Amino acid sequence: MDRYSSLATALESEVLTEMADTFFGARKNLDDLTEAFMLHVEVLRGLAAKVLSRLSFLRSLLLDPEGESAFFAALGVAPQFPQPTPQHGLRGWRPDHLPFALLPSSRYVGALLLAYTELAHACEVYLHGEYEDDPESKGRKRLSLNFALLESQCRLLNKRIEKLNGDMAPSSVLQYARNISMEEQPGQGAITNALGAESLDKGLMYHPVDFASLGLWRAPSLPKPEECNKALTAFARAFYASNTEKVRRVLADL
């Protein structure tokens, strides 16, 4: 073999190696991104449980579904949450202490305002996140994982999937590698010949993530507490007057 043939063989080997690294590297990178995304999905499910624990406390103060419906009606919004279902392993949330008040009625008003404030804040954080300490960079902040961010990640992931499927179809990569080979090798092209290019590409293609099929709960956007303080206070006083004994029993357990 003369020096030119040796050089051509070396170049061919280098190009084929680089093609393989690019092809399989791109697929490995996409696999890693998909795995990281699904881990974020599970983290968000845990954040949803935090919101529901705040909701559970609010519901305890409103006694029953009728009280809950009346509460949201007083705020001028439709009932915002699904009916309660057993949440195995969900730890109920309770405040460390309630706002001080001499009268039970005032104590109830304070408790309801606190419960709603906690719930509204938890919904906002779940939907849009909040800045927290970045464990990977001391002294810096980062936006916490949230529903809107996960939606955005899903869109970006699907764009990557669409691009990889379009730019690196397995049959095209194999055919290109076959075309630049100097000599026909045993079995070369056997995969595409046996399966057909369309069948091969369909079998190895990545499928986009259907965000809706993940079944993630979308928390509502509640009015800010300062925007409905008067309505909350008026409702709490009227509700206490109509359910004094029941409310007192609830407050006694707090």
**The predicted structure's pLDDT at residue 104:** 86
Does residue 88 form part of some domain?
no
Residue 211 has what DSSP assignment?
G
Question: Is the separation of the CB atoms in 26 and 168 below 8 Å?
Answer: yes
pLDDT mean over 213-225: 93
Does residue 193 form part of some domain?
no
Residue 119 has pLDDT above 70, yes or no: yes
Which has more confidence, 229 or 6?
Answer: 229
**The predicted structure's pLDDT at residue 158:** 95
How many domains would you assign to the chain? 1
User: Per-residue pLDDT tens for 38-97?
Assistant: 999 999 999 998 899 999 999 999 999 999 999 999 998 887 787 765 454 445 677 777
Residue 230 has pLDDT above 70, yes or no: yes
Compute the distance between CA of residue 225 and CA of residue 33 in angstroms, rounded to an integer.
Answer: 38
Q: How confident is the model at residue 207 (pLDDT cuts 50, 70, 90)?
A: confident
Residue 248 has pLDDT above 50, yes or no: yes
Does residue 87 form part of some domain?
no
Does residue 191 form part of some domain?
no
**What is the SS3 assignment for 210?**
coil
- Return the top range by mean pLDDT from 12-16, 19-23, 137-141, 243-247: 243-247
Does residue 198 form part of some domain?
no
Does residue 67 form part of some domain?
yes
Residue 6 has pLDDT above 60, yes or no: no
Report the predicted TM-score, pTM, of the whole model to 2 decimal places: 0.76
- Cα dist. 135→49, 140, 180, 189 in Å? 23, 8, 48, 50
φ and ψ of 86, to 5 deg: -60, 130
Domain region containing 219: 3-79+99-169+205-252
- Return the top range by mean pLDDT from 47-51, 185-189, 202-206: 47-51
pLDDT mean over 1-26: 52
Does residue 72 form part of some domain?
yes
Q: Across the chain, what does the average pLDDT equal?
A: 79
Residue 25 has pLDDT above 80, yes or no: no
Does residue 195 form part of some domain?
no
